A and B are shown apart, each in its own frame.
Chain A
Amino acid sequence: MPKLIKNGTIIGDNWLPADDTLEQPASNQIHTLSQWQALPEKSGSAVQLEPGDGVEPLLEHLTDIAVVAVNFPGFMDGRGFSYARELRERGYRGEIRATGHFIRDQLTYLSRVGCDAFQFADETLLEPALASLQDFSEYYQAAIDQPQPLFRRRA
């Protein structure tokens, strides 16, 4: 079973990775955006956003979706950070997992914008990455993990 970090611990993952060559993805498969858009029933579904997709297509179904995988084909493309935060701001409560080629040094930022699961392309990176979740204990600006900016929390 593939593994990922979820809510700070390493657990097994029941979802099959997105595969854009499939005509009929399995029910426990993460769908590409176009596969997902073709799904008649979105309840309990999982969909993957690529850089450039934007969150717009998901907004009508936020209560139905179980998992949004925000994919990072490369770690320098930061569009996914905005996607995660916008989904949370619009009220999405399901899982947001970062997938692909992000690096552990981005975990603070990814957690702050609302990602609660992390799936590396290389699973051996999971264990050492846990430490990076503890890099910072305080933040200046509001984000998903801490909706109050420091200036509202300073005594």
Chain B
Amino acid sequence: MNKPLTRDELAKKVAADISPGSYVNLGIGQPTKVADYLRPEQNITLHTENGMLGMGPEAQDSQVDEDLINAGKIPVTETPGASYFHHADSFAMMRGGHLDVCVLGAFQVSARGDLANWSTGSPDSIPAVGGAMDLAVGAKAVFVMMSLFAKDGTAKIVPDLTYPVTGLGCVTRIYTDHGVFLLSGSGASSTLILHEAFGLPAEEIAARLDVEVQLDHKLGSSAEAHFQSPVQPV
């Protein structure tokens, strides 16, 4: 029996599933970790929505330049071949379908691929959206990284969002500590497929979700749920 994935293992898995040569935007928070596991030979170009392609690692000490920050306002570095552009261009390249992948955190994802990640809906919170809604609709593939279950044990893959919507039908894959889910189709005809299971038998994962889940035929029986080969990279 394997174990649930740690955050680093999950980041490594997401990184491995990104096709060589992709243009990628990593959201703030957990998705940022994916950058640590991208291999140089993948030749991934990172986009940051505040106006840069070719973003490098976080700046250290003397590298810190307050004019060179990422979307989380953390000082970063530039890589050879980097470019700068203004905000309208930055979001045009996102909205225009030029980015291959964006990786986002989430509070909830519905079985139809609806995403909630910008607001808890708490009445006393100060709302802030940033680029969340643009990222949700803007990339060719939208990967979500999150824990499968909330602290209270409820599943974060839900029939219908109870948190405020960020984007409808936009998520294509969900990477969680207990499994990788693929979404195919859209709207009422969409299907949610459990592609890999970690730490729990696939049937048990499916049973704990209040949504219809198809088990990938490669998953095998619950007794031998195991690491699968990566899904075809996008």
Indicate, yes or no, whether A interacts with B.
Answer: no
Interface residues, chain B, CB within 8 Å of chain A? Answer: none
